[in-house]
Structures are given as C-alpha cells and as structure tokens.
Structure 1
Amino acid sequence: MSTTPEPVTVIGLGNLGRALAETFLRNGHPTTVWNRSPAKAEALVARGATPAATAAEAIAAGELVLVALLDPAAAREVLAGAAEAIRGRVLVNLTSGGPKDARELADWAAEHEAQYLHGAVYAVPQTIGTIESSVNYSGSAEAHRRWQTQLGLLGKGTFLGTDAGRASGYDVAILAGMYGMLGGFLHATAMAQAAGVSATELTPMLVSWLTDSFPALSTFAKEIDNGDYSTEESNLVMNQAGLATIIQASQAQGVPAVTLNPVKELIDQQVAAGHGAASLARVVESLRSEP
C-alpha cells in the first residue's frame, strides 16, 4: 500500500480554511485551494498549495474535499455551481449551520453521487492540527473510515453516527450554552462595576462558583431526559423569588436585566402552570417545540 500523502482540496480560505490547508501542507499532502477572493490563496501558494481558478477545478483535483465557508447558503451556492465535479468525491463540510442545513446538503450530495460528512470544529484556527483541536463528524460512515487518518491531522475526531445533522445538533446546542454563559458573565461584570467591583476582581470568584455549580448540570440532564422534575432542594418558586431579587438589584444599579428577564419569564410560566415545587430543570418544557 502506498504511503504517499493523498491530494486534498480546501474550499474557502477564511481563518478556518487557511488553517486546514496549512495543516495538510505541513503534513505533506498536495493541497489545492479555492476562494472567491483569489488573493487569500497567495500565502498558501507560497507554501506549496495549488490555486484553482474555479471551485469545480479545485474539487476535481482530489477525492477529499473540505468546505469551510461563511454559512450554509454560501456552501450550497458554491457546491451547486460545481455540481459537475462532485461525483465520486467525499465532501467534508465544516461550515457552521444547523442540523437541517447538514441533512439537506447530505441529500444533495447523495443525488450527485458524492459522500457527505458534516464536521463541527471545536478549536480556534491557530490550534487546528494540534492536540487542542477536536472535530465531531456525522454522515457517511464509509467516508469517515476511509479518510479517518487524514482527518485526524486536524485534531481529535469523534464520529457521532450516520445522521448527517447530528454533529450540527451537538454544535449549535453547545454554542447556545456558551453564549448563554457569556451573556451571564457580561451581565455579572456590569453589575459588579456598578457596585464598585472591577471585572478583574469579580472573575476569579465567579469562575470558582460556576465551577462548583457544574455538577448540577448532570443532575438536570437526567431530570430532563427522564421527565421527572421532583426535587426536595431548590425548586422553581425559590428560584423565581431569588431571580426577582437579582433583577431588582440590577435595575436599581442602572443595569438593565435584559439577559435575566427571559429566564424569569420562563420560570413564571412554569409556576403559573402549577409546577412551582418542581426542579429548575422543568423550565426546559417551556422551550420545547410544539408537536
């Protein structure tokens, strides 16, 4: 069996795309690159990458094609314009999007006789190709097995199953949690500063408290999956009162409670429906999609 590194293609040369291409070049893979703005390829070409005049030309250059574009609409547009080159290729789409986007593109790829993997990257671009990078994949199991070694150059890879939307399902949920945390942090620092406490002073104590609180998430997760929200500890009525106090204090300090009010409204809904004695986790019921 030949050990010659196989050619790969990278479509899209934003921060992520450039990092992908640099990683493959660093590991000896002939790498073809394409971007709508050709100037973005110049530094990679200087390192040995091959520029392509069109996306179709880039896709034709290698069986493994990584796509890292701005959004799902851009990915669909670029690939649709290169449809004649897709047949027989493996598309690894690392463009951020939702599960519906991934499933639709997987169906499109299958119609054009290509295999599809969706990937969700958990790394900043400068850590791609190091132990600090990880990527979740879902979609074609055959494609993942075939290219696992090459994809492993990008970081620790985890295959989540053949539903192309599963990696995105994890991804957007994780990112929603991250932004919720950041919103809470920003609100906390605004309140602290209004009370004469600097953000730098507050943060170590806040991080310590959050770290000690993390085990509660696993307890909440079990309650949510089991649909059993009974508790003898902090129930919704207690949280309703506590959050009302925090909101009042925030507003009294001149800090609008725009990040807290939506949570309070969800708690109020559940208490009004007669679930005041239930665990805080029951708030998820107000977020579920209508059947």
Structure 2
Amino acid sequence: MTDNAPQNPSATASSAAPAPLALLGLGDMGTALARTWLAAGHPLTVWNRTGAKAGPLVAEGAVAAATPAGAVAAARLVVLCLLDDASVGAALDGVDLTGKDLVNLTTGTPAEGRARAAWAEARGARFVDGGIMATPTMIGVPEAGGYVFYSGSRGLFDTHRATLEVPAGARFVGADAGYAALHDVALLSAMYGLFAGISHAYALIEGEDIAPKDLSPLLSEWLGAMGFFVGNAAERLTTRDFTTGVVSGLAMQVAAAGTLLRTAEEQGVSTELLSPYLELMKRRLTGDPAAHGGEDTAGAITLLRA
C-alpha cells in the first residue's frame, strides 16, 4: 500500500545518520574541520604525515589511519587539506581512488584545480576543488560568516552537501574545477588591495597628533561609502560603457593623484602601496586623453590583461 501522506524533508534529513568521511591533513585548518565533523557525529578517519597530530582527535572519537591509503579506504568521501598541490599528489600516489569522492580543500591555483580534477577522474574518482573563505577560528561558528567555494562535479557536491556544510557554508560556483580557486584568489586579491590602502593611510598620520584609533572610524565609514565601486565596476565591465553617469572622470582623478603623492613625500611615507594603481589610471588616460578623460576609473581594469 502506498503512503501518500505528506513527508517532512527536514525531519527525514535530520534523522539520517551522519555520513562517514576521511580527512587527510591536520594542520590548523584540517584540525578545525575535523573537530566540527566529530562534534556533529560524523564517523571520521584521519591521516597526517606527522602522526602525533592525530592524537587529540582520536581522543575525541576519530580513527587514525597509518597511511593515506588506509584513510581513503575507510570512506567514500575523502577530504584533502594539505600543504599544497604537490602534497596532494605525493599523499595519493599509488592509492586506489576508484569510486571515491575527492574534495580538495588544499590551497591552490585554478590551473592546479583543473589538472587535479582530470588526474582524479582518470583514476575513477569524482572531484571537487574548494577555496576556504575563513580562518580556522571561524570554522564551526556559523555566525562568523565563513564559507567555502566549491567547483567541479556537481553530482559529488549535491551528494555530500549536508556534510560539507557542517564546518562552514558551501557555495558551488561551477563545473569548471578551477573556479573555486579563482573565486578564492579574486576575493583575497581585493582584500590585500584594501589592506594596502589602509596601511598607507595609517602611515601618513604616524608622528602626527592624530591617534590611529581616531582615524579608524573615519576610515571604516569612508571605505563603506566607497563600496559602491564594486557593483559599478561590474556593470561597466559587462556593458563596456565607462562614460555614462560618471561623476569624477579619469582626467580629474589623475590630476588629483599628484596631491596624494606630494603629501606622502611631505610625510616621509613610501608610495609603493599607492603608486601602481595611480600609474595604471595615468596609463589609461595618456593612451587617448580625448577618449578616456571622462571615463570612470573602472576602464583602467581593462589594461590589466595583457
């Protein structure tokens, strides 16, 4: 007899036993990941090149494997959080990966992600690459806002999504296995550019009767107001329209840049964090002043690709 009563998907999901998995790599990030899976009740087999690091996790319920092959054999889902791509290749060299689902959370480049996906598929495994947008202290803390980019096999991601979301949020960004790393590096590159500007700002006031703690809220407020540039640049790069609705054109921006440089010189501050971007804007303008003088500064982005 068929039961036509409405089903509660969340109740079904919550009643399912936590899936087992294997984790290779117990650095700070790997250990943080391991602890969240253990706390959620997932049977966990771990391996680390330095075996002693597994001790505390074994005390918390993990099973330590003596070899990478032993860890891989313990579960269908295998998570890698090693030093680099070469470490992944070395750890899994000669290991039978047939039927395994590999999730690589090792920091790497887009090209390494794509190559490792082809490598895994040739060995009978499904593969997903990941880019962790969190520090170890953010893992297992939902309110911290950390998440992981994933790309590669959509089937693998859908199969294991619930498990992958235990340590941090999961965002699938495409079937191209290089896209997780590309998103990761794009965001980190923007972060370091932001840090560079903030560092230059603080250097300017050193030695003056201006406390960093007094400049701090002004910096936060100003940078928040300038956040519009993110969406503005995306729209202009999409439409290739760099002139409509421009308030402060490139010619004006380049002219004003001289004040920034002279102020840095007066304050005895190096311009090494500031000059590259100012030079990029200047190069865009001098290429054709008549065509580019009224442009938004987003047009300078087009010069970055050779």
Gaps of 5+ in 1: none
Rg (Cα) greater in structure: 2
Please list, as runs of the form range in 1=range in 2, the aligned pairs for 1:17-28 lying within 5 A after superposition: 17-28=30-41
Shift of 1:73: 2.5
Structure 1 residue aligned with 2:233: 220
In the TM superposition, what whole-angstrom CA distance separates every residue of 1:100-139 from its partner, at most 9, and x where no partner exists?
1110100100000101011122222122123233122111
In 1: Cα distance, 2:217 partner to 2:75 partner: 49
Between the two proteins, the alignment pairs up a number of residues equal to 287
Structure 2 residue aligned with 1:248: 262
In 1: Cα distance, 2:300 partner to 2:293 partner: 11
CA contact (8 A) 1:33 1:58 kept: yes
Structure 2 residue 55 is the aligned partner of structure 1 residue 55:
no
Single out whichever of 24-33 and 70-79 deviates more from structure 2. Answer: 70-79
| % identical aligned pairs | 38
In 1: Cα distance, 2:186 partner to 2:90 partner: 26
- Taking structure 2 as the reference length, the TM-score comes to 0.89
Structure 2 residue aligned with 1:170: 183
Structure 2 residue 213 is the aligned partner of structure 1 residue 200:
yes
In the TM superposition, what whole-angstrom CA distance separates every residue of 1:30-59 from its partner, at most 9, and x where no partner exists?
111111111211111111111111111111
In 2: Cα distance, 1:104 partner to 1:63 partner: 21
Shift of 1:76: 2.6
Aligned partner of 1:112 among 123, 142, 147? 123
Gaps of 5+ in 2: 1-11
In 2: Cα distance, 1:195 partner to 1:111 partner: 62
Shift of 1:6: 2.5
Superposition RMSD on alpha carbons, in Å? 1.6
In the TM superposition, what whole-angstrom CA distance separates every residue of 1:191-247 from its partner, at most 9, and x where no partner exists?
122433222111110000011111132112111122111143111111112222111
Single out whichever of 166-175 and 236-245 deviates more from structure 2. Answer: 236-245
Runs of 4+ off more than 4 Å? none
- The one-letter code sitting in structure 2 at the alignment partner of 1:172 is V
CA contact (8 A) 1:244 1:264 kept: no
- The one-letter code sitting in structure 2 at the alignment partner of 1:92 is V
Structure 2 residue aligned with 1:150: 163
Single out whichever of 202-211 and 126-135 deviates more from structure 2. Answer: 126-135
Shift of 1:13: 0.6
In 1: Cα distance, 2:40 partner to 2:213 partner: 41
- Taking structure 1 as the reference length, the TM-score comes to 0.94
Structure 2 residue aligned with 1:42: 55
Structure 2 residue 126 is the aligned partner of structure 1 residue 85:
no
CA contact (8 A) 1:189 1:198 kept: no
